[in-house]
A = this chain, B = another copy of it.
Amino acid sequence: MSTDVPAPLENDEHGSAKARAPRADAQRNLDTLLQTAAEVFASSGVDAPVREIAEKAGVGIGTLYRHFPNRAELVAAVFRREIDACANAAEPLAAAHPPFEALSLWIERYVGFVATKKGLAAALHSGDAAYESLPPHRNQRLIPALRGLLDTAASAGEIRSGVDAYDLLNAVGSLYMSVRDEPGAESARRMVALLIDGLRYGATGRPEA
């Protein structure tokens, strides 16, 4: 144990901060791990063993643990990434479809995200510190995305105005959260459809004055 550090020169590339450039294979492995983990979680649930993920990603467990300090962090990273992907899907949809259709398609997309996350609710309530950042992150990314779609559709007169994005997001999420069996999923699907139809009730039918 040396008492002094070997003069780390305290800066790097463009002379500002502290981080080195990441090695190319490391970045590639990180991407592969995130993608593989997402697939495994979707098919086997978030309780899938880390060894299975490492194996399917074609890396050793040591590699997995260098990128994520523990399995909870890996799960959280996957969720964050999927939240981002879902949020980012709003803009292209808005550009390619009429307002209500874009809104409808995005909610479908969001349902697709929530429904495949078996064990998400349990994970959130587990008290693990790694999951604490997820609800804020969800709110920060998803609510503005949904609000934009709602506003656009309302301005076009295709849905009523005054619907709160946070409420709608939570409602749809709750309907699908902790759905385990097929009849439950069918019931949830019907309820979400009802919710969306409800948005159209009381719409003006024409662009706002």
B-contacting residues of A (Cβ < 8 Å)? Answer: 121-122, 125-127, 178, 180
Oligomer: number of copies: 2
A125 to B181, CA, bound (A): 11
The answer to whether B122 and A125 have CB atoms under 8 Å apart is yes
Closest residue of B by beta carbon distance from A126 = B122
Q: Is the interface of A mostly helix, strand, loop or mixed?
A: loop
Q: List 8 A-B contacts (CB under 8 A).
A: A121-B122, A121-B125, A122-B122, A122-B125, A122-B126, A125-B178, A125-B180, A127-B180
Q: Which chain B residues lie closer than 8 Å to A125 at the CB level?
A: 121-122, 178, 180
Closest residue of B by beta carbon distance from A122 = B122
Q: Which chain B residues lie closer than 8 Å to A126 at the CB level?
A: 122
Q: Which chain B residues lie closer than 8 Å to A121 at the CB level?
A: 122, 125
